[in-house]
């Protein structure tokens, strides 16, 4: 058999073996749409190729000619919020340069939703209801599985602050890790593997220093109204009360640009259309991004993101 025929035969076999998980993925997608439509969310689509990716410390955009492929639809969706759209959701492709592994693909599917006049706690309520409903519709029960660990989404979810998690699981305090530039390193290696064992865990009250788009907690300017969701050590979603102060957002983007420049990483143009929308005024809002591929992994009990994508990169 010619090499090209061998390759085609191997692909045909792989795709045939994926039929059941791709059918599960389709059921999950249908359940997601039913969930949001029943709650009067508007399904929107925003550009995939953008002229100004969001400036974030640890996320690199994939170049596309003179533009970039989006790392998230966030900034365009916030422009819709600023124009008065009350409830929005979107499911679509996103891209991040250099990300590849059991839980990462350079191209992946993101679910995001946003609400005006809502905060991080409102989004948590949405997320609990969504995960329970989708799990029940797709699996017929309440259990997800990650790395062989069963997580009961119907059980009361646990919550721990980032400060508490570092004090309990890490070899350094949160503030010391931030000062040493070790926050991400310690979070990933020492904290994340201990979260979401048995029930979903919410990791809350992130430091402002690594949360460029989140609103500070009243009375605690160094911590923000942000949480992430974990299932058996796998980060599934990132939520926050949105920063709507245009001057502060511009300052944070500038600080991130300076950090990226000092590290020799790409610095993207400011999204002046987004900042202009904030300048005109935007009501309080909150939102979340959930990795759809990872959600399907949990629903299917898959060990790798490649198992739940028909054509992995």
Does the residue 255 lie in any domain? yes
Q: How do strand 87-95 and strand 42-43 relate by DSSP bridges?
A: parallel
Provide the pLDDT for residue 2: 64
C-alpha distances in Å from residue 295, one per residue of 143, 181, 187: 12, 30, 21
**Does 298 score more than 70 pLDDT?**
yes
Residues 6+ apart with CB under 8 A from 122: 115, 286
Summarised one tens digit per residue, pLDDT across range 37-73 is 999 999 999 999 999 999 988 899 999 999 999 999 9
Does the residue 1 lie in any domain? no
Number of domains observed in the structure of the chain: 1
Does the residue 124 lie in any domain? yes
Summarised one tens digit per residue, pLDDT across range 217-255 is 999 999 999 999 999 999 999 999 999 999 999 999 999
Does the residue 167 lie in any domain? yes
Summarised one tens digit per residue, pLDDT across range 171-195 is 999 999 999 999 999 999 999 999 9
Are 157 and 228 a contacting pair, CB within 8 Å? no
Does the residue 70 lie in any domain? yes
Does the residue 149 lie in any domain? yes
Structural domain range at position 147:
13-308
pTM of the full structure: 0.95
Q: What is the CATH number of the domain that holds 87?
A: 3.30.930.10
Does the residue 188 lie in any domain? yes
C-alpha distances in Å from residue 120, one per residue of 62, 157, 228: 29, 15, 11
Are 207 and 222 a contacting pair, CB within 8 Å? yes
Q: 19-38 and 292-300 helices cross at what angle (nearest 10)?
A: 120
Distance CA 84, CA 273 (A): 16
Does the residue 17 lie in any domain? yes
């Amino acid at each position: 058999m010619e090499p090209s025929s061998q390759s085609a035969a191997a692909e045909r076999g792989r795709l045939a073996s994926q039929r059941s998980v791709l059918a599960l993925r389709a059921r999950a997608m249908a359940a997601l749409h039913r969930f949001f439509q029943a709650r009067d969310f508007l399904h929107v689509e925003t550009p995939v190729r953008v002229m100004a990716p969001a400036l974030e410390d640890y996320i690199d955009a994939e170049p596309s000619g003179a533009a970039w492929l989006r790392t998230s639809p966030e900034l365009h969706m916030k422009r819709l919020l600023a124009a008065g759209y009350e409830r929005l959701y979107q499911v679509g492709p996103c891209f991040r340069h250099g990300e590849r592994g059991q839980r990462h693909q350079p191209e992946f599917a993101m679910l995001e939703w946003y609400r005006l006049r809502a905060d991080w706690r409102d989004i948590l309520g949405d997320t609990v209801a969504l995960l329970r409903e989708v799990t029940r519709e797709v699996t017929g029960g309440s259990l997800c599985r990650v790395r062989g660990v069963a997580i009961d989404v119907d059980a009361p979810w646990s919550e721990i602050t980032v400060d508490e998690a570092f004090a309990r699981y890490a070899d350094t305090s949160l503030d010391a890790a931030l000062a040493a530039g070790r926050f991400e390193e310690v979070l990933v290696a020492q904290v994340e593997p201990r979260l979401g064992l048995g029930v979903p865990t919410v990791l809350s009250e992130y430091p402002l220093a690594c949360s460029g788009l989140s609103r500070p907690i009243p009375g605690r300017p160094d911590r923000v109204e942000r949480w992430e969701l974990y299932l058996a050590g796998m980060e599934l979603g990132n939520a926050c009360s949105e920063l709507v102060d245009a001057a502060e957002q511009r300052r944070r983007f500038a600080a991130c640009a300076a950090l990226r420049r000092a590290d020799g990483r790409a610095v993207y143009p400011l999204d002046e259309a987004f900042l202009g929308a904030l300048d005109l005024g935007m009501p309080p809002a909150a939102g979340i991004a959930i990795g759809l591929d990872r959600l399907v992994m949990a629903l299917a009990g898959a060990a790798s993101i490649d198992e739940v994508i028909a054509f992995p990169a």
